[in-house]
Amino acid sequence: MKNIEKYHILLGSKSPRRRELLQMMRIPFNVVTISGVEETYPYTMPPREVPLYLSGIKADAYLPHLRDNELIITADTLVILGDKILGKPHSHEDAMATLRSLSGKTHQVVTGVTIATRERRTSFSSVTDVTFGQLTDEEICYYVDNFNPMDKAGAYGIQEWIGGAAVEKIDGSFYNVMGLPIQRLYKELQIF
């Protein structure tokens, strides 16, 4: 990607999955994080617009710190069931309840991504429909007890055990469900 070779690429994310996905694409980058970014959004905002809005807020927090030769990538991923945003669970019980609500249903995973330099900026969203089969309480408990659903929107990681046990169908990017739609990001970086 000759057009971005002049930039030092920064990933503004604490997510180990986003780091792993960007590494998989063989794009050289460094991880940077800023504490205290207020990830709030207007109460009236439609749920599917929230990830793009939040990725923009994150990019705005980094822009004053960017050098002329730096490019920042920020992202936000949410799980949406109907019109309800299912965030990261706060407790074991919350994770169990979230997974029960997803059992036997189709939900959407929406990731908003912002690419920015001091001179340019572009943003996009990626939507993936994920259908879960029916899960028993025993299966849900096994997942919550043996994996780490607390740092994941919707209380699950598709790349973990539950992806094989529960996911019946995916319509859209698998990697989007992991937290970064890398195929779309790759294309956007090519034309940035």
Q: Which residues are annotated as catalytic?
A: 76
CA distance 128 to 18: 16
Longest dimension (CA), the chain: 53
Contact 175, 183 (CB under 8 A): yes
Instruction: DSSP letter for 36, please.
Output: T
The closest alpha carbon to 162, from 100, 84, 113, belongs to 100
Q: Which residues contact 131 (CB under 8 A, 6 or more apart)?
A: 105, 106, 167, 168, 169, 170
Q: Which amino acid type is present at position 89? A: P
Q: Is 36 left (phi over 0), alpha (psi -120 to 50) or beta?
A: left
Torsion of CA 102, 82, 60, 117, to 10 degrees: 80
Taking each continuous run of H as one helix and of E as one strand, the counts in the chain are 7, 7
